[in-house]
Amino acid sequence: MDYTVVLSDNKTVDPTTQSEILEAAGATIELLDEKTESAVADAVQGADGIIVDAGTPITEAVLAGTETLGVVGRAGIGVDNIDVDAAAEHGITVVNVPDYCLDEVSTHALSLLLACVRAVPHYDREVKDETWDWETGQPLHRMAGRTLGLAGFGRIARRLASKLRAYRLDVIAQDPNVDAATMEDYGVEKVSFEGLLDCSDFLSVHTPLFEGTRHLFSTDEFERMRDDAVLVNTSRGPILDEDALVAALDDGELAKAGLDVLDSEPPSPDNPLFDRDDVVLTPHVGWYSEESRSDLSRGVASDVAAVLQGEAPSNPVDPETPWL
């Protein structure tokens, strides 16, 4: 049987690998460059499947406007750009790749933390400007013996917790969907959200984005956190209120931030986070390695192909718990 699959993502995946898998399943590939809702709605007319990245909106309007679409493949982990409830109502399967880039993102979160704690970007700039002076980065403090908090305790946070054992940190976590016994298996103490804010010297964000976590960290939360705390976010930009974050840094309510994700990507050239020595930024690259890109391409294409052929996918997204 012949199928049509629309591909809207050529950044995070290897299109050649995807095409080989899908064409072997009898699919014809159509490429979509424009990622507006109307463009996506037009593209899925007559299509059997679509594979999307985080920037492609799969809304109720898109899903309601097609009579042929059977599967939406998310080339990634988070499905905040997909209306999974509407997909379920229309009988459309959503699949993602929840176990890819676990090592990459956890390592990147740790890298951002270390860069902040040891003021690596600051010293790099100073040396390149011909300033050879250890005092310019004062004060720096020892990591060992301090407390690192994890907002969310899914696969990536668990991988990070395992890596942190060598740093002799006390690790705590808050996640309403994970019990204390599971956290204890990783040497992590379960705390409330308030306890996370109160006790964390370092806080790494690993919660998915949905309506309940949008601006989860805002003015009140930053005021409650330790004034010398370091905040790292490798999850989704809108989980942090950027205006409140800038104000907290300006007011000394937070020491530093390491961010791989921003509210708007790519950010505006006048983003106030750019000119700060207390913020380390990377361009949503935590997911990337050549190996993770290959894993992602094969994972999402194989599951889309399975659904098209009437087989059970390995990673269907449950509309009741799309963040798990």
Question: How far apart (Å, rounded) are the C-alpha atoms in residues 186 and 164?
Answer: 10
Set 34, 265, 291, 311: catalytic member: 265
User: 155: alpha, beta or left, given left = phi > 0 and alpha = psi -120 to 50?
Assistant: alpha
Contact (Cβ atoms closer than 8 angstroms) between residue 241 and residue 216: no
Set 108, 146, 284, 298: catalytic member: 284
Give the contacts of 53 (CB within 8 A, at least 6 positions apart): 8, 9, 11, 12, 13, 74, 75, 76
293 annotated active-site: no
Strand order in the sheet with 189-190: 189-190, 170-174, 147-151, 202-205, 230-233, 256-259, 279-281
User: 141: alpha, beta or left, given left = phi > 0 and alpha = psi -120 to 50?
Assistant: beta
Question: How far apart (Å, rounded) are the C-alpha atoms in residues 59 and 114?
Answer: 39
Name residue 100's amino acid. Answer: Y
284 annotated active-site: yes
Set 236, 242, 293, 298: catalytic member: 236
**Bridge partners of 202?**
148, 230
146 annotated active-site: no
Strand order in the sheet with 3-7: 27-31, 3-7, 49-52, 71-74, 93-95
Q: Identify the CA nearest to 306 among candidates 98, 15, 21, 30.
A: 21
Q: Identify the CA nearest to 92 among candidates 100, 84, 104.
A: 84
Burial (0-12, 13-18, 19+ Cβ within 10 Å), 72: buried
Which residues are designated catalytic?
A: 236, 265, 284
